[in-house]
Structure 1
Amino acid sequence: MEKGLLTFFCGKMGAGKSTRAGELAEKANAVLLSEDEWLQSLYPQKIDSLESYVRYSSFLKLPMKKLVQSILSAGTDVVMDFPANTISQRAWFREIISESESPHRLIYIDLPDEVCLEQIKKRCLEQPHRSATDTQDMFAQVTKYFVEPGSEEGFNIARVTKTY
């Protein structure tokens, strides 16, 4: 049986990863898995800092990995709206890919900080519940850890340099 395609995203906070993930999943009739939605459902009002995000997101890794591998093995495409913004985050995706022997695509949304910050402001107006964590300060904290994906990591990278 042919394996499903795993698509995942890299890009700074506010780059449009979630927007593109949703649109791509709908267009490709793929399963969309959103870290933000899982965290909000399982741990409502628990994520109020970078530290709490790191803590609670780590709880999702093992069950999500098994779920994704199962879906891919069934031949269904998966779009993961989970960040691949650091080498360690991408190593987790590498495990999913290599263990399931599935094809993949890493979409790197490479936008300037100013564009990302503008999109964060817009998002806070549209989704006021995110205004506590989607701030310029949080952007600065998270961006300190951002590492652009490189060819040496062995991913099939599609680089996007435009907003909609």
Structure 2
Amino acid sequence: MSFSYPDLRQLAADQQAVLLSEDEWLATHYSGQIKSFDDYLKYSALIRPFIKQLVHNILATGADVVMDFPANTMRQRSWFLNLCREAGCEHQMIWLDLSDEQCLKQIAQRRLEQPEQAAFDTEAVFHQVTAFFEPPTADEHLNIVTSEFAGDARYGVKQ
């Protein structure tokens, strides 16, 4: 399956879902504290228990959730799958199948639109993160939707 969404906010609106953004959570709770990839890993791990409980609570109301979170590694995707299994919900992983050039253009645009992230959203960090990327495999049992919109692999969960 393939689709193109220029904006996850629009996807959430179209699905009448709640949008949760890792970037927004990190910026709200750890403003100015993420200066390196190691900082990102630390703070990203700290918000996961809160996100998990929030997703479960939202799904319990009957609403769907669009999660604007990276799923670049098998470990990250496993966290999402476990979250969905525990909540008893369906999921879709939106895989943005892009070249490095397309991703770097998106990062440059994001640096202009979100200058507070400019110190971390760099080409060097992109290459550091990309070194860990693992494409999804059939063994992971993911419901994959492929998109040509720029960004990271993202997740959506459905009641």
TM-score normalised to structure 1 length: 0.84
1:112 aligns with 2:93: no
1:80 aligns with 2:62: no
Equivalent of 2:41 in 37, 54, 58: 54
Query: What is the rounded CA distance, in whole Å, between the counterparts of 2:19 and 2:148 in structure 1?
Result: 23
Q: Number of paired residues?
A: 147
Change (3 A) 1:92 1:162: closer
Alignment map for 1:17-36 (pairs within 5 Å): 20-36=7-23
1:121 aligns with 2:116: no
Offset at 1:20? 3.3
Structure 1 stretches lacking a partner, 5+ long: 1-15
Q: Which amino acid aligns with 1:115?
A: Q
Q: Which residue is equivalent to 2:153?
A: none
Equivalent of 1:144 in 123, 126, 131: 131
For residues 105-129 of structure 1, give each alpha carbon's deviation from its aligned partner in whole angstroms, at most 9, with x where no partner exists.
1110111001111121122122222
Q: Which residue is equivalent to 1:130?
A: 117
TM-score normalised to structure 2 length: 0.86
Task: Tell me the percent identity.
Answer: 45
Query: What is the rounded CA distance, in whole Å, between the counterparts of 1:66 and 1:162 in structure 2?
Result: 29
Offset at 1:70? 1.8
Query: What is the rounded CA distance, in whole Å, between the counterparts of 1:44 and 1:51 in structure 2?
Result: 15
Query: What is the rounded CA distance, in whole Å, between the counterparts of 2:29 and 2:68 in structure 1?
Result: 16
Offset at 1:162? 5.0
Query: What is the rounded CA distance, in whole Å, between the counterparts of 1:83 and 1:57 in structure 2?
Result: 10
Q: Which residue is equivalent to 2:148?
A: 161
Structure 2 stretches lacking a partner, 5+ long: 151-159
Moved more, 121-130 or 56-65: 121-130
